[in-house]
Amino acid sequence: MQERSEPVLLQRAFVGRERELVQLRQGLTDAHAGAGRLFLISGEPGIGKTRLAEELSIEARGRGTRVIWGRCWAGDGAPAYWPWIQVVRSCLGEADGTRVDNLLKSGAAQVTDLLPEMNQLRRSPAVAPRLDAVPSADPEEARFRLFDAVARQLKSIADAEPLMIMIDDLQQADQPSLLMLRFVARQLKEARVLIVGSYREAEVRNSPALSRLIGEIAGDGHQVLLSGLKDSEIASWLQLRGGEDVSPTVISALIGATGGNPLFIDGMLRMLAAEGQELSNGQLMIRELRLPENVRQTIRHRLSLLSKQANEILSIAAVIGQEFEFECLRTVAGSSTVVIMEALNQARRDNLINLVLAGGVSYRFAHDLIRETIYDGLPAVARASLHLKIGQTFEAIHQSNLEPHLAELAHHYRESVIVGDPAKAIDYSIRAGEAAQAVFAYEQASTQWRTALALMESHEAENARRADLLRKIGVLIFYTSDYLEGIKYLEASLKLCTTVGNPHMTALAHAELGFARGTGSNFGLHISVPKALMHFRESEALLANEEKPLTLAKVYLGSARTALEALDPEQGLSAARHGMSLAERLQ
């Protein structure tokens, strides 16, 4: 997956949106004066959200503003915080030991947690240890530290030069990324930072959870809702494109068919041009326009004008993702460089894809709807086969450093299970969840692990592995979101453990249930001191003969705390003494 700091801007006509630009320009002026601003641009697909942001970014650069883009990734193939990884990486530049060392010594050391390349450098003995090396026991506090570090790093950069951050396609963002956006926007209200986000209104509206979170974010900023272009704006646009006037009757027909959606209009004009029809032709009857029913139909027609080879190449690209690297595409296609380039050039000429300038040779679909239309049109087996081949290619290309690509690998192998081996889908999903948990992206970790668990259950994985994953999910959910749901997973883990015959696994499940039943609000429905003590006793008995009794020491300490909650100081002191004795032996 290739990130980039900004889009490659084509010399495309831009008309209308004057009212919206006035709002955004004022926000930029405020940001330059030290009053941070947040704007959320919304509307239907193809209405011009990204194009408006591109126009603003051109003006922002002209006013001495540093512009950084972060793009959300469709589907579940991106690592947690993907748009923020792009933003932070662009801000910090090339990672090296000196840069990491400076970050670790600063108040923003947690920023290095986001970037795999900095994590690798951080492990180097040449890099000084971070000042906050002791992790927080509170999951939310740990996440707060990360968010705060990112906000402070951005403010530090904005102190040197005004900053515009554009986060595109928020409807595709993972929840941790949206939570970070909410935090950063609130923290940078007195910084020289303009944050602009865009999202598809209908997709957000149809998701209660997403709608609620986007609504909270919007409450800290300003909404910019885009509708279709007006007839005068379309007339200006058509004149800029072709240099000729078009009759009001034809423009009215275009508006009636497209609602003034620029992407739809552009696709229709290309379709008509391919058929040799001209809108300025006085003999052209409105009925001859043969207007398609929707944007997707327009896109399918545009694709039909390409060669068979170009369509096959674009099908592979659509399965790779919204953005795709040339080398991966060439390997999966198994075609020569010449053939691939000819196909890509055809697609570029019709504005279906754009070249991305960000370190390597990669491309991006000109609009999400183009990729979605191609992807949705593929038969299920063909799609799964491509996902499998792409997963294998990713493994080969990135074999020396898989960590940044775990979510992508998990996604491709999961989507290939009907033709491939579910074991890899399970393994990469678990590892992707672990990577998400390591950067406090608890929601994404939970999603990855639950997906892995569902695959285990549908493919009859070993009970021991299922029990272990159930315990991890239970602990994660209990401490980050839902006490009772977490306990349900822990109890399911314990039930499976008893069928496995592994005393250590069973002891761990009992121990976690002991902590869960005795932890949290005193008024929580999950609290049961008798059950907690029972689980601790069961765990103690199973761990009594362990050679490395670290877990047993923790169990004693948990038992001591729970006994004190039960007003049994004698048992509490006894358990505490046992725990301290074991802890001293382990030092």
Q: Quick one: fold of 308-378?
A: Arc Repressor Mutant, subunit A (1.10.10)
Following CA atoms 70, 212, 449, 324 in sequence, which dihedral angle do they give, to the nearest 10 degrees?
-30
pLDDT value at position 460? 82
pLDDT (tens digit, 9 = 90+) per residue, 385-430? 999 999 999 999 999 889 989 999 999 999 999 998 899 999 999 9
Write the single-letter amino acid at 135.
P
- Tell me the C-alpha distance between 277 and 254, whole Å: 14
Arithmetic mean of pLDDT over the chain: 85
pLDDT at 166 > cutoff 70: yes
pLDDT at 280 > cutoff 70: no
User: By the 8 A CB rule, do 423 and 443 touch?
Assistant: no
Highest mean pLDDT among 72-81, 131-140, 166-175, 474-483: 166-175
Question: What mean pLDDT is predicted for residues 428-434?
Answer: 96
DSSP states of 473-496 as a string? Answer: HHHHHHHHT-HHHHHHHHHHHHHH
pLDDT at 5 > cutoff 60: no
pLDDT at 16 > cutoff 60: yes
Q: Quick one: fold of 18-225?
A: Rossmann fold (3.40.50)
Residue among 113, 36, 129 nearest 79 (CA): 113
pLDDT at 561 > cutoff 80: no
User: By the 8 A CB rule, do 409 and 328 touch?
Assistant: no
pLDDT (tens digit, 9 = 90+) per residue, 218-248? 999 999 999 999 988 888 888 887 666 778 8
- Tell me the C-alpha distance between 151 and 27, whole Å: 19
User: By the 8 A CB rule, do 354 and 8 touch?
Assistant: yes
| Sequence-separated (6 or more) residues with CB below 8 Å from residue 406 | 79, 428, 431, 432, 435
